Structure 1
C-alpha cells in the first residue's frame, strides 16, 4: 500500500493510501511511520492551499503531534497562534532554544487576553467548518472570564444564523424543498411538527410515523377527530398509496408515499417532505438533532463522502446555518443550500 502511495500522482489519494496502510499494518512502528507520512503530507497540502483554512491546519497540527512529528506540529501551532500547542510540541521535541524564545516572547501578554483571542479564532474556525454549536460553547466559556465585544458579536451572529427544526426550507440539488424532520411527524395548532392555524384542530392532532415496513396515520385522541371519506378513524391507518384526510371540521390534509422514502404532506396550503428519519442526499444525511430542548438541522457526511463549505472541508456533522452552500468537492457544485434569510 505504501508503494502504491509513493507512485500515486494525486496528493489527496496518496494521503488516503497512507491512512489505509496505517490501519492495515500489524507492526505498530510501521503503522506509526505510515501515519507520520500521512500527517506530513496533510500538512504540506494545507500549506499549499495559500489561504490557510484554520480547521484543516489545526487538524494537520494535531495529526503531526500524535505521530511524533513534534517540530512540524510546533510550526503548525505557531501559524494557528496556538501558543499552548506550540509550547507543548516544542517541549516534546526537546527544542529547548526555541521553547525558551517562545516563552520569553509570550511573557508580555496577559493570559486572559490570549485566551480570548484564541477563543475568537477557534470559534470562527469552528463556525466556518460548520460546527456552530461547538463554536458557541467556546464563546460561552471565554465570556465567562469577562465581557468581550468581538466574542459577543460572533456568538450573536452564529445564533441568529443557526437553522432550527423541526421544519425548515432547503434547496436540494437545485430544487426547493420544505422539510418536516423527525422519526414521527405531528400536525396540530401548537407544539406540533407542522403547526397549522385552525381552531378545530388540537394542539397535536395526528401523527404520521413508521410501523414496521408501513407508514401509518393516527389520530391522537382529539375532540374533533380525523376523517377519511367522512368516516372517523379510531385506530392507526396505513397510508398505502396515499390518504386524503379531514382534520377536525375544516382542515383537508393529503399524505402520500415518496419513491425516495418517507411521505409528502399537503396541509394548510403548504407541501412538506417528511422522510420520517434522515433525508438521504447521496451519501449524506440531513437530520434533526435535539439539544437542551432546541431542534437543530444537521448535515452528516463521512470520510468517504466529505462535505465542503466553499473551499473548506467541513466537519462530518454540519450544524446548518443561513447562507450555507454545501458541495461534495472543494469549490464544486452545490448540492444543499440554505437561504441567506433562513433560520
Structure 2
C-alpha cells in the first residue's frame, strides 16, 4: 500500500539538468545511508575494506573460504541488510530518476545478432564487443572482458568443486604441513589463481597483454614518477590510508552522470571527466601498490612499527586477492607473531 498518492508532476523533464541533478542527489543519499547502515552490521565486516554480501558469501562457500556453518550464520544477515538497502533505493526513486536522466539512450539497441553470426562460445565484432549465449539460451552483446568473466565463472565453479572434492578425499590422514602442501599442489594443478583472476578481474587479462606490447596506463606512469624513498615509514603508512580514501571518492565520482558518456548493462564508456576520475583512481591504486612494496623492503624500527607494517600488508593483500596468497607475507607473519 502506498503511503501517499503518486504525484507525476514531481518528476523532472526527461534529459533535463534537473533530472541529472536529482539522480545524482539520490545516489549520494543512498550512498550516505549505506555507509551509515554498515555500522549496525559488524558481523558482516569481511576485512578492513570490504563487507559480506549474498553474492560474495556464495562464492566464498563454493571456494571453501568459509564453512557452511559460517555461511548459514551470515547469509540471513546479508540478505536482511540488502533488503533494507533495496528499500532505501526504492524510496529514493533512483531507478526512475536514472531513466529520466538518460532518457535519450532509450530504447536500447537490440542485442540479437544477425542470423548465423553467433559462433561457438561467442563471436567478436568490430566494436570490440562479442555476442555470446548464456545458460538460459539468451544472447548477449557485451565487451570482450565481460564475456571472459562470464565464461570464467563457469570454470571457477567447476574448479572449486573439484578442488574441494579432491582436498577432502586426500587430506584425511595428513598433518597440517602436508595439508598446506596438498592445498598448494591442487591449486597449481587446477589453475585456481588464474581462474580466480579471470572470474573477478577479467579486465586485467587485457592490461597484461597491453603491458607485453609496451603499453602502460597513464595512472601507472604518474604513480611510478613519485619518489617514495624520501618518505619515512609513518608517512608511507598514513599516505596509504589517505590514498585508499581517495580511491573511494574517485570511484563514487566515476558513477556520476557527468562522468558517463554511454552505458549498457555491465559496461560503461566514460566522458572526458570520467576518464580524468578513472586516471586519478588508477594513480591512487598504483601508488598504494608501490607503498606496500616500499615498506616491505624496509626494516621496522621496533615491534610497534613492525606490527603496523604487517597490518597494512595484510589489508592490501586481502583487498587485492580476497585472501592471503603471498608466501613471503605468510612467512613474515609467522616470524613476527609465532
Give the TM-score range, shorter chain: under 0.3
TM-score (norm 1): 0.28
Give the structure with the larger strand fraction: 1
Give the structure with the larger helix fraction: 2
TM-score (norm 2): 0.28
